[in-house]
Structure 1
Amino acid sequence: MGLLSNRVDRGSLKPGDHIYSWRSAYIYAHHGIYVGDDKVIHFTRRGQEVGTGTVLDVLLISSGPTRPQLPCPTCTPPEDGNGVFSSCLNCFLAGGVLYRFEYAVSPALFLAKARGGTCTLAASDPDDVVVHRAKYLVDNGFGCYNVFKNNCEDFAIYCKTGLLVVDQGRVGQSGQAVSIIGGPLAAVLSTPLRLVTTNVYGMAATAATVYCASRYYGDIGFRRDVVKVSVEDLTRRLAIGSLQVVEPQITPARGSPPQLLT
């Protein structure tokens, strides 16, 4: 894993890898789980890779794949499924560059990454378990897509770790979502310094510290509002619309075990 880039070549991929590709202008990355045989399982809003259901979608959609996509005979039509579908690696990349998301990174390396959505402190489960979760969710779904609480990165992180944020009122596991929220938060919290100092470097340092802290404390490997949920139990709970009460099957993401929220 490089400090500046997690770029990999296709030949290094193995089933169970969490991969992603940045879309135009690096506005967002699309994430999925490589399951072998040139196939990737990923989560979308019925084929739309990112969306909020608001006017912001005009900007987000315009940043999507720019290369015309012809119908692919090997890929499941996303509009016919539940949002989780399988596609070939070429369709997943849509002309973009291939990157691999890294797990169980050190805190120093995590903080050295300038942008979220590339790595996590949390450890991955065995590859066969990861592939099983991804394939199971193709048939059973991953709930309703939400760009901040339940997006493609949340899906891939769940497949890799089995961990879910149980408070549905908060941002999900996605490092991208945490970065999006952390940036404006850092700017707001550093603004009062302008009233007492004109030191641009001090304000920049404060903003950077707040941003890094928001990313670190929001990472799935640090948070305590997460639970370990089997994929079979997940789909059952999605059917009844509740993740709040779960069996005591929590395993530690990093350090001490997260709290069980009921």
Structure 2
Amino acid sequence: MGLLSNRVGRGSLKPGDHIYSWRAAYIYAHHGIYVGDDKVIHFTRRGQEVGTGTMLDLVLMSSGPNRGHIPCPTCTLTEEGHGVVSSCLDCFLAGGVLYRFEYAVNPALFLAKARGGTCTLAVSDPDDIVVHRANYLLDNGFGCYNVFKNNCEDFAIYCKTGLLLADQNAMGRSGQAVSIIGAPLSAVLSTPLRLVTTNVYGMAATAVGVYCASRYAGDIGMRRDVLKMSVEDLTRRLETGALQVAEPSLAALLSPTPVS
């Protein structure tokens, strides 16, 4: 593992690894759990890697991998079912480069990796527990896919840590989602500070500082609104409707929360 890249070779993979691969133009990365035997379990939106139900899908889908018309002889991605699928490593990578997500990184390394969705301060559970969670969710599902609150990275992070958000209305565990929201948020929050400095470099430094602070505070390893939940309890609550994932709009997520 290096400061600039988490790229790894296939030979270094072991069951329980959280892996990902960037898609075209590095717009987003697709995440999953490697479970051995060249298999990856990952979370999709009815077979599609991404999806918001909005016009944003035109950008996201256009950056996705071009899948051939010849079915893979070892795995099948279906548009039916609950969205958790098992694929061979080749289908998961879709021609992309293999990267391994890092856990229990120190704060300096976390902040040095300015792009979200590559590492976390949180500690991973043992590999056998990670594989058990992934296989259990393959059979029972992980709820409704939501690009901002319950996406492929959220799935992989849950498998690795067993952590869920206590507040179902909050932003998900995904570092990618936090980065997407954190960038405009940093611009908004830094605007009042124009009264402190009119220097463009000072404003840029302030915006970067706010962005880094939002990423750090939003990381699953730093948040206090999380709880540890067994995969059996998770699926039981999903079945009974005790846990649900809403479909928030992008505008709602970017709107500032009133302070009382």
Q: Which sections of structure 1, spanning at least 5 residues, go unmatched? A: 245-262
Q: Which residue of 2 aligns with 1:253?
A: none
1:254 corresponding residue in structure 2: none
Give the match for residue 44 of structure 2: 44
CA offset at residue 99 of structure 1?
0.2
Q: Which residue of 2 aligns with 1:76?
A: 76
2:217 matched to 1:206? no
State yes or no: 1:182 paired with 2:159: no
Residue 66 of structure 1, CA deviation:
3.2
Using the TM superposition, give the Cα deviation of residue 198 of structure 1 relative to its aligned residue in structure 2, in angstroms. 2.8
The answer on whether the counterparts of 2:48 and 2:79 sit within 8 Å (CA) in structure 1 is no
Residue matched to 1:131: 131
Aligned position for 2:16: 16
Residues 166 and 243 in structure 1, CA contact (< 8 A), matched pair in contact too: no
CA deviation string 1:164-204 (max 9, x = no partner):
11211111100000000000001112223445543111101
Equivalent runs, 1:154-169 vs 2, <5 Å: 154-169=154-169
Deviations 1:23-57 (A, max 9, x none): 00101000000000000000000111111111111
Q: Which residue of 1 aligns with 2:58?
A: 58
Matched, 1:108 2:108: yes
Q: TM-score, normalised by structure 2?
A: 0.91
Map Cα deviations across residues 45-75 of structure 1 (whole Å, 9 max, x no partner).
Answer: 0111111111111111001113536311211
Q: Deviations over 1:217-250 (max 9, x none)?
A: 1000010111110000000001112249xxxxxx
Match of 2:253 in 1: none
SS at match of 2:132: helix
Task: Answer whether contact 2:74 2:88 (CA < 8 A) is retained.
Answer: yes
> How far, CA to CA, are the matches of 2:224 and 2:194 in structure 1?
35
Q: Which residue of 2 aligns with 1:252?
A: none
- Backbone CA RMSD of aligned residues: 1.4
Moved over 4 A (4+): none
Moved more, 12-21 or 65-74: 65-74
Query: C-alpha offsets along residues 104-138 of structure 1, whole Å, 9 cap, x if unaligned?
Result: 00011111111110000000000000000000101
Tell me the amino acid that sits aligned with residue 144 of structure 1. Answer: C
Q: Could you say which residue in structure 1 is the equivalent of 2:218?
A: 218
SS of 1:30's equivalent in the other structure is strand
Instruction: State how far apart, in whole Å, the 1-side matches of 2:70 and 2:57 are.
Output: 23
Q: Aligned residues: percent identity?
A: 84
Aligned residues: 244
2:152 maps to 152
Map residues 221-232 of structure 1 onto 2, 5 A cutoff. 221-232=221-232
Q: Say whether the 8 Å CA contact 1:125–1:161 is kept in structure 2.
A: yes
TM-score using structure 1 length: 0.90
What stretches of structure 2 of length at least 5 have no aligned partner?
A: 245-260
Q: Give the aligned partner of residue 173 of structure 1.
A: 173
